[in-house]
Amino acid sequence: MRALVLQDGKPQLIDKPRPVPRDDQVLVRMTMAGICNTDLELVRGYMNFAGTLGHELLGVAETGDLRGQRVTCEINFACGKCDWCRRQQPRHCPTRSVLGILEQDGAFADFVVAPRANLHVVPDGVDDLQAVFTEPLAAAFEVLEQVHIQPRDEVVVLGDGKLGLLLAQVIALTGARVLCVGKHDDHLAIARQAGAQTVLFDQWDRTKRDVVIEATGTASGFELAVAATRPGGTVVLKSTVADKASLSLAALVIDEIHVVGSRCGPFAPALRALADGHIDVGAMVGGCFDLSQALDGLDAAAERGALKIVLRA
């Protein structure tokens, strides 16, 4: 089968054997897989990953009780036995592998194996190009798991990349006033469509708000986010970047600011929001590439201002 692997530090399209599922696993035939900024970071050396890339999977189950059904896949493959797993926190299982990120071959291949427990059936009303956004949309919903955003809160989403736009849409559902700050007016138009206010970064007045969600994908975004948060307010960190950030601790202490690191989220609410039509990601597709053109897809995803690039099998 075809697979886009990171090997000797370089992304390469190779032919490799189809994986064989263990008893607790399912073989999934990949239909679509989204390219994420994290994939580009991995190519740059983040996490020292080697193997098949890709963690935004939509496919069809080929084995087990889900055979023939469309599925998406939670990316943290947990042990199922440790304290974390028993506490229903498998995303923090210390011995987990992570699809296409940590010791686990990923979604940019014709076939993928995944634990049965990680698969979610896609509701009939959700088409493939919407369903392939389930994983990043779940990451946006994670903010609502962690932070109680109240309907009268004023929220800034810092960044109008793919994750920033999903965040703006999800937060707008809470009734809170959302201001999406970005650098691309065509991206900001997507946030406006979902009811968010928008402003170009250069014109942003930096008024302090209740909650600031940092999704710029840069280390420098953190200090910016802290400066735009009211006393007692909350900064949510969504950017996964390898760089270190510097910040004044006095700013956090004097204004008693809360900082919340935020990573992967729950799939069920994301699929419900897509099925109910509360979230529409149609405008966020930047292009589709056949898996055989996966390297071109990676290049397209790395272009400044690229929206979601999707690989198809």
Is 91 or 312 the residue whose CB approaches a copy of itself more closely?
91
* Shortest Å, Cβ 247 to a copy of itself: 6
* Shortest Å, Cβ 245 to a copy of itself: 5
What would the two tokens of residue 231 be? 């006393």
* Shortest Å, Cβ 250 to a copy of itself: 6
223-228: long-range contacts (C-beta < 8 A, 24 or more apart)? 223/247, 223/248, 224/158, 225/156, 225/158, 226/251, 226/252, 226/257, 226/259, 227/251, 228/156, 228/158
* Shortest Å, Cβ 222 to a copy of itself: 6
Is 133 or 222 the residue whose CB approaches a copy of itself more closely?
222
Interface ranges with a copy of itself (CB under 8 A): 84, 89, 92, 146, 219, 222, 231-232, 237-263
Is 21 or 217 the residue whose CB approaches a copy of itself more closely?
217
Which residue reads 């292009």 in tokens? 287
Is 117 or 219 the residue whose CB approaches a copy of itself more closely?
219
Provide the pairing of β-strand 97-98 with 51-52.
Answer: unpaired
CB contact burial 204-233 (16+ within 10 A = b; e otherwise)? beeeebbbbbbbbbeeebbebbbbbbeeeb
* Shortest Å, Cβ 187 to a copy of itself: 22
Q: How far apart are CA 247 and CA 46, in angstroms?
A: 22
* Shortest Å, Cβ 171 to a copy of itself: 18
Provide the pairing of β-strand 10-15 with 97-98.
Answer: unpaired
Is 89 or 150 the residue whose CB approaches a copy of itself more closely?
89
Which residue reads 């049965």 in tokens? 116
What would the two tokens of residue 244 be? 């270190």
Is 121 or 251 the residue whose CB approaches a copy of itself more closely?
251
Q: How far apart are CA 142 and CA 151, in angstroms?
A: 17
